[in-house]
Structure 1
Amino acid sequence: MRTLRSEWTKFRTVRGWVLGTVAAAVAAVLFLLVGTVSSSRHQGEVGTLPVGPGGVAVNDSFSFLHRTLTGDGSLTVPVTALTGVLTDPAGGPDGTLPGVTPWAKAGIIVKSGLRQGSSYAAVTATGAHGVRMQDDFTHDRAGHLTGAPSRGAPHWLRLVRAGTTVTGYDSPDGVTWRAIGTAAVAGASVEAGLFVTAPAAVDTAGGGGSSPATATGTFGRPAVTGSWQGHWAHTRVGEGAGSSGSYVPGTSAGHRASGDGFVLTGAGDIAPVVGGPALGPAFTVETFLLGTFVGLVVLGVVAVQFATGEYRRGLLGVTFAATPRRGRVLGAKAGVVAVAAFVVGAGAAALSLPLGEARAASARFTVLTVPVSEQTRAVLGTGLLVAATAVLALSLGFLLRRSATALTALVTTTVLPYVLALGGMLPSGPADWLLRLTPAAGFAVQQTLPRHDHVLSVYTPATGYFPLPPWGGLAVLAAWALLALGAAFLVLRRRPV
């Protein structure tokens, strides 16, 4: 404790180190404000996204033929076809070609209301993933039927509501049924019926561009049990196709009777919003924390000088004379810079979020909503990211003894891979490996937009997605910091002052 107090006294009594620590926080926040101002000048208004039950920004746009179900009941229907129209990238005679996107959907849904973002459970045939049961946007389970539905091999779908529990089933023949899963949809009465939607086609191999898509589902006669009210009514939930694309020119949401069944046409998606080029310009929590790497460099200078300053001034021998156990001195210095860096990192992040949201609101710019728990993890994780990097910088200072050399090593291994990978200056393969193996992996702790297998997008570093999960990436950085700290300890024990 005495050694720790002594090192803290050294740190706080050197004006340059204290001012540098404050400057790190200021630099991080100023970089954010300058960056968002620049973005708002060059991008147009995006709009407001609905928020799902879990607090996540969602797409909730589809063509819906529905009735009101009061209490318990069931809905059963065969899907006999799922077709569609895509935008022809080659232009074509009319600019379109037949086809459906992999996650185009034609199925049945129980939804707590017509408001976008309201709770739901659905069983649906898809363009390329067979039958799925999905609920509340983020949950997706595979059914038992694969391939696409057809008149000769329809996909029979059923939803049964008992209390607030909704159970999904599928069947190849309408006789033998297998359960897929359950979900909860609250409310005394719900809207239930047939739906069709189609997210935009995403070119995952050619840079992530997207183009409009429209789907059409053909349904047999719907069979219902329980207390249903009113006649079948058609609603286009959401404006257009929401943030997931748009209708192919010349198409629109609609429905018509076909024998004793229906044909529905729609576009959009019922799914969480993800990042990537398909979404277009938008602010995320990660955007608001972009200034972290600037503050990290400034704080890295402070941490390096906290190690090399005593070499340069010839005071390290005095320090070791007062405290002969050199490992204790190193540990105390690491503790001081780690705590100071954590306070700076977490404080700057906590300040950046409301400032960034206010700047986005004033510019009428979309912010992708995430749960408060995710925001809190990103703020505290930023503190840990900066703290671990400061310990790494301190260790490099002791190992290399020269401030410029140590800082160059820090920037080269931590900041440069981050900038190259997220700036799109490297192919996705090398970028992924850099963010797995170098200390830059620690920036993954700031990511709040998860990958979703049932949402097609370009999940690469250039679109804001790290190859490691948040805590996994931070663990890689921590391992580097501990490795460097251990090497510094060995060097201090063996190298003369």
Structure 2
Amino acid sequence: MRALRAEWTKFRTVRGWLWGAVAAVLASVLFVLVGTASSNQHQQDAAALPVGPGGEAVNDSCYFVHQTLTGDGTITVPVAALSGTLSDMTAGQDRTVAGVTPWSKAGILVRQSLDQGSSYAAMMVTGEHGVRMQDDFTHDRAGLAGSPSAAEPRWLRLVRSGTTVTGYDSTDGVRWTEVGTAHLPGAAVTVQVGLFVAAPAAVQTSGGGGSSPATATGSFGRVALGGAWSQAGGQWQGTQVGGDAGTSGSYPAGTSGGWTTNGDGFTVTGAGDIAPVVGGPALGPAFTVETFLVGTFAGLIVLTVVAVQFVTAEYRRGLLGTTLAAVPQRGRVLAGKSAVVAAVAFAVGAVASAVSIPLGELRAHAAHFSVLTVPVAVELRAVLGTGLLLAATAVLALALGTVLRRSATAITAVVVTTVLPYLLAFGGMLPTGPAEWLLRFTPAAGFAVQQTLPRYGQVLSVYAPSSGYFPLQPWAGLAVLGAWTALALAAATVLLRRRDA
């Protein structure tokens, strides 16, 4: 405690270091203001993204043939085919060709309402991923493999019992296999039940990404309603949920959503997607939490300067000997300095991010851009994680300052190993492989703790640094930075004990 109190007294009595901490906050926030202000030059109207039951931004657009049904019941239907159209924009042409995107969907759906973002459970066939059960946007389970055909349809069934919906699939409509169970505690007694078709845009996952509109058409057999639903006797009606094809795609020229009867069955055409929003080409024009935290690197550079000088100033002025005379245990001196810079840096990071996010959202809305919302817990993790990111980097800078004894050399080392890899990877200046390597093994991996962009297997996009994605999970990335910091701190402790002041 004695060493800690002494180091804190030193820090707060040097105005340059205190103003440096304030400057770090201002640098982070001002970078966000400048970045969002430049967006005003490219204003465009963007509808607010729907929010799912978990608080995440979602796409919720499909063509839905449905009835309003009350209570418990079952819906069963065979799907005989899934076809589609894609917009081919190669060679400057805009023409429609046959084909389905990998996550085109045709199936049965139970949803709380027709409002976007409402709770739901669905069984479906997909373009390339067989039968799936999905619910509340983020949950996905695999069923039967393969594609349906007239000779070998895929039979789908949903059973609602209270707030529980269970999905089944079958190859013959006789022997059924349970795929999964969804719990929809917010679902009302009266729900919307029926057939749906969606087709997310065709996404190019190489060559810089890009997307083009797509549609899908599902051929359904006779729909069987069971339980209380069989007594309803209602009429089927078609609705374009979301009012259009959504942010993930739109109808190619000359096509539109709709439905027709086909004997006892239905043919339904739709576009859009029912899925969580992700980054990359699938996101479209929108800001993310990461966008509002991009100024962190500017604040980190300022704090690096402060942390390095916190120790090198004593070397330069010959004051370290006085410090060690007062506290002979050299490890405690370094621990005290580390605790002070870590606490200051954490406060700077948390405050800067807590201000930057709402301020960035206001600027984004003013520029008519959508904002990709995330659950409160995820946003809180990004805020506190930014504080931890700056704290670990500040201790790393302090340790390197102790090892190298020269301010310019230590500051350069931190910038080159932490800030530069981050800028190269996310600035699109490196191929995906080298960019991911840097973000796995250098201290820049710590920036992953700010990651809020979701990565879902059921949504096709470009999951690469150029699209805002880290190769490591948030806490894993921070752990890499922590390992570098611990290594540098251990080296600094050994050298401080062995060398003269």
TM-score, normalization by structure 2: 0.97
Contact 1:60 1:238 in 2 (8 A): yes
Matches within 5 A, 1:456-495: 456-495=460-499
In the alignment, the residues of structure 2 paired with residue 103 and residue 241 of structure 1 have an alpha-carbon distance, to the nearest angstrom, of: 15
In the alignment, the residues of structure 1 paired with residue 154 and residue 18 of structure 2 have an alpha-carbon distance, to the nearest angstrom, of: 68
1:279 aligns with 2:273: no
Aligned residues: 496
In the alignment, the residues of structure 2 paired with residue 206 and residue 395 of structure 1 have an alpha-carbon distance, to the nearest angstrom, of: 41
1:142 aligns with 2:139: no
1:360 shift after superposition: 1.5
In the alignment, the residues of structure 2 paired with residue 91 and residue 329 of structure 1 have an alpha-carbon distance, to the nearest angstrom, of: 67
In the alignment, the residues of structure 1 paired with residue 313 and residue 354 of structure 2 have an alpha-carbon distance, to the nearest angstrom, of: 31
Matches within 5 A, 1:138-217: 138-143=138-143, 145-185=144-184, 186-217=187-218
Give 2:326's aligned residue: 322
Give 1:70's aligned residue: 70
1:200 shift after superposition: 0.2
- Structure 1: runs of 5 or more not aligned: none
In the alignment, the residues of structure 2 paired with residue 223 and residue 42 of structure 1 have an alpha-carbon distance, to the nearest angstrom, of: 51
One-letter amino acid of the counterpart of residue 151, structure 1: A
Contact 2:44 2:367 in 1 (8 A): no
Give 1:8's aligned residue: 8
Q: Quick one: which of 412, 419, 425 aligns to 1:415? A: 419
**1:38-92 Cα deviation digits (max 9, x unpaired):** 1232242222111100001100000000011210110000000000001123369
Give 2:224's aligned residue: 223
1:294 aligns with 2:293: no
1:467 shift after superposition: 0.5
Q: Secondary structure, in 3 states, of the residue corresponding to 1:96?
A: strand
In the alignment, the residues of structure 1 paired with residue 25 and residue 342 of structure 2 have an alpha-carbon distance, to the nearest angstrom, of: 15
TM-score, normalization by structure 1: 0.98
1:238 shift after superposition: 0.8
Matches within 5 A, 1:82-161: 82-90=82-90, 95-143=95-143, 145-161=144-160
One-letter amino acid of the counterpart of residue 6, structure 2: S
Contact 2:86 2:99 in 1 (8 A): yes
In the alignment, the residues of structure 2 paired with residue 93 and residue 25 of structure 1 have an alpha-carbon distance, to the nearest angstrom, of: 49
Q: Secondary structure, in 3 states, of the residue corresponding to 1:445?
A: helix
Contact 1:32 1:288 in 2 (8 A): yes
1:249 shift after superposition: 0.8
**Identity over aligned residues, as a percent?**
70
In the alignment, the residues of structure 2 paired with residue 39 and residue 407 of structure 1 have an alpha-carbon distance, to the nearest angstrom, of: 32
In the alignment, the residues of structure 1 paired with residue 39 and residue 284 of structure 2 have an alpha-carbon distance, to the nearest angstrom, of: 12
One-letter amino acid of the counterpart of residue 252, structure 1: S
In the alignment, the residues of structure 2 paired with residue 354 and residue 441 of structure 1 have an alpha-carbon distance, to the nearest angstrom, of: 25
In the alignment, the residues of structure 2 paired with residue 339 and residue 91 of structure 1 have an alpha-carbon distance, to the nearest angstrom, of: 57
Contact 2:20 2:306 in 1 (8 A): yes
Q: Secondary structure, in 3 states, of the residue corresponding to 2:145?
A: coil
1:496 shift after superposition: 1.6
Contact 1:81 1:150 in 2 (8 A): yes
Contact 1:43 1:281 in 2 (8 A): no
One-letter amino acid of the counterpart of residue 452, structure 1: Y
1:215 shift after superposition: 0.5
**1:257-277 Cα deviation digits (max 9, x unpaired):** 111100000000000000112
1:332 shift after superposition: 0.2
1:384 aligns with 2:388: yes
In the alignment, the residues of structure 2 paired with residue 198 and residue 386 of structure 1 have an alpha-carbon distance, to the nearest angstrom, of: 42
1:94 shift after superposition: 7.1
In the alignment, the residues of structure 2 paired with residue 7 and residue 364 of structure 1 have an alpha-carbon distance, to the nearest angstrom, of: 48
In the alignment, the residues of structure 2 paired with residue 96 and residue 208 of structure 1 have an alpha-carbon distance, to the nearest angstrom, of: 20
Q: 1:47 to 1:178 in 2, by over 3 A?
A: same
In the alignment, the residues of structure 2 paired with residue 158 and residue 178 of structure 1 have an alpha-carbon distance, to the nearest angstrom, of: 10
Contact 1:208 1:278 in 2 (8 A): no
Q: 1:6 to 1:97 in 2, by over 3 A?
A: same
- Structure 2: runs of 5 or more not aligned: none
Contact 1:69 1:226 in 2 (8 A): no
**1:297-350 Cα deviation digits (max 9, x unpaired):** 001000000010001001011111111111110000000000000001101111
One-letter amino acid of the counterpart of residue 354, structure 2: A
Q: 1:155 to 1:92 in 2, by over 3 A?
A: farther
1:48 aligns with 2:48: yes
